[in-house]
Amino acid sequence: MNEPRHAELVAALGAVRARIADACAAAGRDPHTVTLIGVTKTYPAEDVVVLTRLGLLDIGESRDQEAVAKVAAVEQLLADDASGSRPRWHFVGRLQSRKSRSVARYAHAVHSLDRPELVGRLADAVDLGSRPPLEVFVQVSLDGDPNRGGALTTDVPGLAAAVADRDELRLRGVMAIAPMAADPDAAFADLHAVSERMRRAHPDADAISAGMSDDFEAALRHGSTHVRVGTALLGRRAPVFG
């Protein structure tokens, strides 16, 4: 890792953590209740290693092919690291059914379950892999646009029940992306309402994955517990992965 890039990541991580702290203070929340996920899609394994050594262990990827290669590269780079710190990988992109088995091999959590067939495929993949339960967020569509992923709010209870019925999966809560050109406060207020309804049926499913680089302050005002930050953390430099 070259020194200028290391310095960039140190500064960016500090700035993002400061924004989270300020937003939590304004909302009367404890920043320790917020999980920062560094979304490193298109960025190299070396960046992940630096972030891990800086204490950011939650790492997000959105494409399985890239994630598989990156997970292996990070493991190799950290092979001699005696600290034992290793990333927790979050799959945050749209999940293709045929990629379920692959994702279940490395992911700590999947944030984008949005249709029934994924429940069985992920659960079966976990069972085949003899691994601990996979954490799952049900992705909610806040605008009904089928091209952006997410289940309609009317379909969320059924999906949540299906996940909760599988011992191989752990229902964590809901995830959403604010619709383009929408008021993020209104969007995340709607998501919070969906979360509240889910919690009435599944009290332990109290997590909300919401907020990215440009809008996570609004998400934190409405109860987000997991923010997925890419650009504000990694910058806009030319990516390594295509």
Predicted pLDDT at 240? 58
Query: Per the domain annotation, does 241 fall within a domain?
Result: no
The first and second tokens of residue 229, run together, are: 């930050």
Query: Per the domain annotation, does 240 fall within a domain?
Result: no
Query: Per the domain annotation, does 242 fall within a domain?
Result: no
Q: Cα Rg for the chain, rounded, in angstroms?
A: 17
Query: Per the domain annotation, does 239 fall within a domain?
Result: no
Model pTM score: 0.95
Query: Per the domain annotation, does 211 fall within a domain?
Result: yes
| Domain count within the chain | 1
Q: Is 63 buried (19+), middle (13-18) or exposed (0-12) by CB count in 10 A?
A: middle
Identify the CATH number of the domain in which residue 172 sits: 3.20.20.10
Helix spans in 165-215 (H)? 184-201
The answer to whether residue 242 scores a pLDDT higher than 50 is: no
HSE (side-chain half, CA atoms, 13 Å) at 72: 7
> Can you give the residue range of the structural domain that contains 141?
3-234
DSSP secondary structure string, 102-164? Answer: HHHHH-SEEEEE-SHHHHHHHHHHHHHHT-PPEEEEEEB-SS--GGG--B-GGGHHHHHHHHH
Query: Per the domain annotation, does 86 fall within a domain?
Result: yes
Torsion of CA 117, 118, 121, 123, to 10 degrees: -120
Query: Per the domain annotation, does 206 fall within a domain?
Result: yes
The answer to whether residue 93 scores a pLDDT higher than 80 is: yes
Q: What is the pLDDT of residues 41-62, one digit of tens each?
A: 999 999 999 999 999 999 999 9
